[in-house]
Amino acid sequence: MMKQYNTGVLVLSALVLLSLVPGAQATDVDPLFLDAHTLDITLSGPFTIINRERDREEEYKGGTLTYLDKGREVSLDVKFRVRGNFRLRKDVCSHAQLWLDLDKDEVAGTLFENQNNLKLVVQCQSRRRYANYLVREHQLYQMYNAITDLSFLSRLVNVTFQDTDDNSSRTRFGMILEHKDRLAHRVGMKNVYMSKIDYRNLDPLQGTIAALFMYLAGNTDFSFISAHEDECCHNAKLLQPAGEKQFFPVPYDFDSSGYVDASYAEANKSLRLRSVRQRLYRGFCVPEVVMSEALVPFRTSAEQLLAIASDTRYMNESSAMKSVKYLNEFFSVINNPEELQDKILEKCRG
């Protein structure tokens, strides 16, 4: 059985780990994601109108994004678009999730170089627990970075929203995610624009790694082969190496996971789950040798993952211990042959 790591022992290693971008070469990573320290930014725009209308077809103009670079204020023009599905609902989030549209020519030579369409995950309500949800979701992105390069980079930000509608302001956590085109560029693959694929065309190893990570996170709100609407897939993107037929899934949007444990997340009743904290493996069946190889990065990265979960810079020790306990339950499964057989190998699909 996996040993239980002590939170206090791992706090220092978490701080060291989080100063790096795991699993990526510095020359391949855009400047925005080279530094894992929390970035302070100010967004100015018509947020009262944005939060009231939440029109995904509308482009809200006249905004600015401001940050400090070595004591010098840098201001960039930005247009806002709302995004999302579940988190777009007003009963779930008081503040709309956003796309930040920047001018590619204007960002040249700045921290935001190569960025012109950035996804901003907004702390959707003001209460402290919603800050914890966002931090935990950011931690999951960091964990997946430690496991595989085929993962979205993220940057935690302190965002001051200056509302030009009523001259009010608020400061909340946010998270900026790497654009899918920049991810594809970084890993030397191309994005796939299809509505669905045959599961047998998924790369067996990468598909299994992604499915195991979703099991680690306690997430069943995804599909690697189809989407409810638009391009494939549901809470995942597909990449493909040039000249190859297999597809490589990259998951995102983890707020419905058991690890985040958001109050608004709902258990999948069609899968007979009682709680979002209840894990269920949803990967496809693969040969034993593939599963064995897929488990390797999880086992070798165990201390790094637990170090991320145990970080108490943005949440109290009790919340961090809850995260560590949830991860240890995953490691207990994959390191116990009987548990692995019962909860993962026998639950595979296809």
Q: Where are the beta strands (DSSP E) in the chain?
A: 39-45, 60-69, 72-82, 98-102, 117-122, 154-163, 169-177, 190-191, 236-240, 248-251
pLDDT in tens, 152-170: 999 999 999 999 999 999 9
49 or 229: which carries more pLDDT confidence?
49
Q: Does 23 score more than 80 pLDDT?
A: no
- Distance CA(161)–CA(283), nearest Å, equals 40
For residue 315, the model assigns a pLDDT of 93
Q: In angstroms, what CA-CA distances link 83 with 97, 159, 262?
A: 6, 18, 19
User: What is the value of pTM for the model shown?
Assistant: 0.91
Q: In angstroms, what CA-CA distances link 56 with 53, 135, 165?
A: 9, 26, 19
325 or 22: which carries more pLDDT confidence?
325
pLDDT in tens, 103-147: 999 999 999 999 999 999 999 999 999 999 999 999 999 999 999
Average pLDDT over residues 289-298: 98
Q: Does 68 score more than 80 pLDDT?
A: yes
- Distance CA(1)–CA(333), nearest Å, equals 8
Amino acid, single-letter form, for residue 318: S
Confidence of residue 184 (pLDDT cuts 50, 70, 90): very high
Mean pLDDT over all residues of the chain?
Answer: 91
Q: In angstroms, what CA-CA distances link 120 with 35, 228, 267, 331?
A: 17, 22, 25, 31
Average pLDDT over residues 36-54: 96
% of the chain residues with pLDDT over 90: 85
pLDDT in tens, 79-109: 999 998 888 888 889 999 999 999 999 999 9
Q: Does 34 score more than 60 pLDDT?
A: yes
Confidence of residue 229 (pLDDT cuts 50, 70, 90): confident
Q: Does 17 score more than 70 pLDDT?
A: no
Confidence of residue 27 (pLDDT cuts 50, 70, 90): low
* Residues present in the chain in total: 350
Task: Decide: 218 and 278 in contact? Cβ < 8 Å.
Answer: yes
Confidence of residue 16 (pLDDT cuts 50, 70, 90): very low
For residue 337, the model assigns a pLDDT of 97
Taking Cα atoms as reference points, which of 323, 328, 326, 301 lies closest to residue 311? 323
Distance of CA 80 to the CA centre of its chain: 21
Q: In angstroms, what CA-CA distances link 277 with 323, 326, 329?
A: 11, 9, 11
Confidence of residue 249 (pLDDT cuts 50, 70, 90): very high
pLDDT in tens, 190-215: 999 899 999 999 999 999 999 999 99
- Distance CA(38)–CA(181), nearest Å, equals 23
For residue 88, the model assigns a pLDDT of 85
DSSP state of 56: T
CA angle 225, 228, 234 (to 5 degrees): 50
Q: Does 26 score more than 70 pLDDT?
A: no
| Least confident window among 10-14, 49-53, 150-154, 216-220 | 10-14
Q: Does 3 score more than 90 pLDDT?
A: no
User: In the beta sheet, which residues pair with residue 155?
Assistant: 176
